[in-house]
A and B are shown apart, each in its own frame.
Chain A
Amino acid sequence: MLARTVENVYWLARYLERAENTARLISVNTQLLLDLPSGFAPGWLPLVNITGSRAAFDSRYTRAEEHDVVHFLIADRENPGSIVSSLDMARENARTLRDVLPAEAWEELNRFFMQLSEELPAGLNRRTRFDFLKRSILMSQTLTGMLEGTMSRNDAHTFMMLGRNLERADMTSRIIDVRSAQLLIAAEAPEHHPFDTIQWMSVLRSLSGYEMYRLGRRARVSRADVLEFVLRDEQFPRACLFCLRQIELGLHALPRSGAVRHALLTACRFLAGTALEGLGQPEVHELIDKVQLHIRAVHDSIASTYFPQQSRPATEMTVERAQGVLRSLPLFR
Chain B
Amino acid sequence: MDWNDYSAPGLHDELVAPGGCARAAGHALMRHLSELDQQEIGLRQHAAELAIKSMGITFTVYHEQGGSIDRAWPLDIIPRTIERREWLRIEAGLRQRVTALNLFIDDIYHRQRILADGVMPRELIASSTSFRRECVGIDPAFGCWAHVCGTDLVRDKDGTVYVLEDNLRVPSGVSYMIENRQVVKRVFPEMFDSAAILPVDDYPSRLHDMLVALAPQRERRAEIVVLTPGIYNSAYFEHAYLARQMGCELVEGRDLAVRDDDRVYMHTVHGWTQVDVIYRRVGDEFLDPEVFRADSTLGVRGLMRAWARGHVALANAPGAGVADDKLIYTYVPDMIRYYLAEDAILPNVPSWRCFDPQQLEHVLAHLDSLVVKTIDGSGGYGMLMGPTASREERAQFAAALRRDPRSYIAQPVVTLSTVPTFAGGRLEPRHVDLRPFILSGPETYVTTGGLTRVAMRKGTLVVNSSQGGGSKDTWIVDTEA
A residues adjacent to B (C-beta < 8 A): 1-6, 95-96, 98-100, 103, 106-107, 110-111, 155, 159, 254-255, 306, 308, 310
Contact = CB atoms under 8 A, between A and B. Distances in A.
B252 interface: yes
A306 B252 contact: no
Nearest to A7: B269
Contacts of A96: 231, 240
A314 B193 CA distance: 53
A255 B244 contact: no
Contacts, number: 58
B243 interface: yes
A99 B246 CA distance: 9
A310 B252 CA distance: 13
B382 interface: no
A3 B268 contact: yes
Nearest to B241: A98
B377 to A, nearest CB: 30
A306 B269 contact: yes
Nearest to A109: B56
Nearest first, the 10 closest Cβ-Cβ pairs linking A and B are: A99-B244, A98-B240, A99-B243, A3-B267, A99-B250, A155-B269, A99-B240, A2-B255, A107-B54, A6-B269
Contacts of B251: 2
Interface of B: 54-56, 70, 231, 237, 240-241, 243-244, 249-252, 254-255, 266-271
Contacts of B254: 4, 308, 310
Contacts of B252: 4
29 contacts: A1-B249, A1-B269, A2-B255, A2-B266, A2-B267, A2-B269, A3-B268, A3-B269, A4-B252, A4-B255, A4-B267, A6-B269, A96-B231, A96-B240, A98-B56, A98-B240, A98-B241, A98-B244, A99-B243, A99-B249, A99-B250, A106-B56, A107-B55, A110-B54, A111-B54, A159-B269, A255-B269, A308-B255, A308-B267
Nearest to A308: B267
A111 B70 CA distance: 15
Nearest to A98: B240
A276 B237 CA distance: 52
Contact of A110 (B56, B237, B255, B266): B56
A254 B54 contact: no
A255 B267 contact: no
A103 B271 CA distance: 28
B243 to A, nearest CB: 4
From A95, A155, A159, A255, name the one whose CB has the most chain B CB atoms within 10 angstroms. A95
Nearest to A97: B240
From A2, A254, A255, A310, name the one whose CB has the most chain B CB atoms within 10 angstroms. A2
Nearest to B54: A107
A161 to B, nearest CB: 13
Contacts of A3: 255, 267-269
Contacts of B255: 2-4, 308
A111 B56 CA distance: 10
A71 to B, nearest CB: 23
A3 B271 CA distance: 9
Contacts of A306: 269
Nearest to A305: B269
Contact of B268 (A1, A95, A98, A100): A1
Contacts of A308: 254-255, 267
Nearest to A102: B244
Contacts of B231: 95-96
A333 to B, nearest CB: 13
Given A96-B231, A107-B55, A255 B270 contact: yes
A153 to B, nearest CB: 14
Contacts of B250: 5, 99
B69 to A, nearest CB: 12
Contacts of A100: 244
A111 B54 CA distance: 7
B249 A103 contact: no
Nearest to A254: B269
